[in-house]
Structure 1
Amino acid sequence: MSQIWISAAGLCGATLIGAVLGFLIKELPHKWNDTVLGYCAGIMLAASTLGLIVPAFDMTSSTTWWIVVVGVMAGALFLNVLDLVTPHLHHITGLDQEEHRNNKSLNHILLFVMAIALHKMPEGMAAGVSMSTTEIDWSVSLGIALQNVPEGMVIIAPLLVAGVSKIRTMVISLAIGLLEVVGVWIGFGLGSVSLTLLPVMLGFAGGAMLYVTSDEMIPETHAHGYQKQATYALLLGFMTLLLMDKLI
């Protein structure tokens, strides 16, 4: 049982470490902000494909692969619909409702944050399932924890720049980290049953991440004249997670 707590604490702690780093880089100029965001877009691109969608397909058979495709498209559609309700999330940010309506950038940021939050639960479940077997596989938890650091970092800076208070921003980051803790325990508790549910959830989360990476993150990094270095940063971020997956 202690291994489950270690895994859960590690995943949540990695997100909080990234959040602390996010506090340190919130004053970056556009040039470097686009570069960091491009790097994180690469991380999310790799995480959604290599960390979520590919493993989901590996869990299916030649007759059930379609459930992953449905999950991916449903995740993208969910984020598309969520884009319509982000102006109503003023209670989460603590900002005025009118500011949400008139601040398109803030709504994009919230959509991005929601996409990260959305995939924390199935990620945690994946780690929990790996802990429920007779031979515990620590590589899953370690890989997710390493990925959580840049993800936690990229949550913080945009929210602070948008005007959300430091305390509320940290609470949002902590809540997102705790989602993964819940996911670990759900995955561990469901055991073999979650092996049926997990491919759909992983595909759903992967589709959501792909949607927000393509629709929000990449266009934002190309909007201020620094698209070349943002593109190379994206490739570097993608290769970073690819190498981490290879080494682990």
Structure 2
Amino acid sequence: MNRVLQPFASTQPSATWPFMIGSLLVALACLWLLQWTAAPELQDSGVWMGLRGGALCGLATAIGALPVLIVRSIPQRLADALLGFGAGVMLAASAFSLVLPGLQAARAMDYSAWGAGWLVSAGLMLGALVLLGLDKVLVDDPLDARRALVPSRLVVFVLAIMLHNVPEGMAVGVAAGGRLPEAASLAMGIALQDIPEGLVVAVVLAGAGMARAKAVFIGVLSGVVEPLAAVLSAMAMTVSTLLLPWGLAFAAGAMLIAVAHSVIPESGRHGHGIIASIGLAAGFCLMMMLDTALA
């Protein structure tokens, strides 16, 4: 089964969509480039590092969506492999950049090994339950098709992508706000997997009949939540270091649910489970090496 997604819609887009795409790209690029012009003391702050990492991830998502403006189709097998790759990166990030530092932070607060394990487990379960609750509230009651920017049959997919971008941004912000050595590798790893993710979002929307420029705009927009989540999470970490293990565990739980509930099922839905699983393993290995090399 090596089906190709249906050729993308050829409807000529309104001039508004390219302008909106360009505006989002410029905004994300400016957020990221500000790191080179800020005062040194500002660059060293956890909130600024969170903004920088979140903007990088959002920009990567936007860049991934852009090729849909010129390509007409993409093999379904490749799309599923890319989703699997993203799932592997997120799983490795949960383990090496969130759970393990969370355990270390708890031990540094004089918790015993068992106590640290229980604390991180509680935070992880809390993050998982919150994301599942949001998923149920936002997805089980889809928007009316006449008012929706996205057709109602695609609302579930788009909301799932946006929801799992939230814990990605949270993870970057928590690591930056806690001044963890893994923060740089985590941001880079998530940005790498955001490139194919942005492509897949735009491909699915365009393949379902949406005008290509509009599909790219939604793909770019799906990454905008990451810098916002990163900044809010980094700000929370600056309030008290006691929040660090809880924040890391919460982000890990939300990310695990996003992978298990949305990304992995979508990657295997078209019968390409083997290639998606290989992509998952490759993504896991890449993120593991990034975490080791850049920490």
Measured against the shorter chain, the TM-score band is 0.7 to 0.9
CA distance in 2, matches of 1:37, 1:15: 16
- 1:73 paired with 2:125, answer yes
2:231 pairs with 1:181 = yes
Q: Cα offset for 1:244?
A: 0.8
- CA-to-aligned-CA distance 1:60-114 (integer Å, 9 cap, x gap): 22234312111111222222222222234649xx7269x43xx2x5414422421
Out of 140, 148, 152, the position equivalent to 1:95 is: 148
- Greater radius of gyration (CA): 2
* Alpha-carbon distance between aligned partners in 2 of 1:30 and 1:40, rounded to the nearest angstrom: 15
Q: Name the structure 1 match of 2:17.
A: none
Q: Is the 8 A contact 1:41 1:234 kept in 2?
A: yes
RMSD of aligned residue pairs (Cα, Å): 2.7
User: Which whole-Å CA distance do the structure 2 matches of 1:8 and 1:85 have between them?
Assistant: 28
Deviation of 1:16 (Å): 3.2
SS, match of residue 269 in structure 2 = coil
Question: What's the offset of the Cα at 1:203?
Answer: 1.2
Unaligned runs of 5+ in 1: 131-136
Aligned residue pairs total: 231
Aligned to 2:95: 49
For residue 164 of structure 2, the aligned residue among 115, 136, 160 is 115
1:65 alignment partner, SS class? helix
Cα contact 1:14–1:148 (8 A) shared by 2: no
Higher relative contact order (CA 8 A, sep 6+): 1
What is the TM-score with the length of structure 1 in the denominator? 0.79
Q: Which has the higher helix share?
A: 1
- Work out the percentage of aligned pairs sharing the same amino acid: 25
SS in 2 for 1:223: coil
Distance 1:155 1:90 in 2: 23
Q: TM-score, normalised by structure 2?
A: 0.68
Give matches, 1:1-248, under 5 Å.
1-3=41-43, 4=45, 7-26=49-68, 27-60=73-106, 61-62=111-112, 63-87=115-139, 88=141, 90=143, 95=148, 99-100=151-152, 103=153, 106-130=155-179, 139-160=181-202, 161-162=204-205, 163=210, 165-187=215-237, 189-190=238-239, 193=240, 195-248=241-294
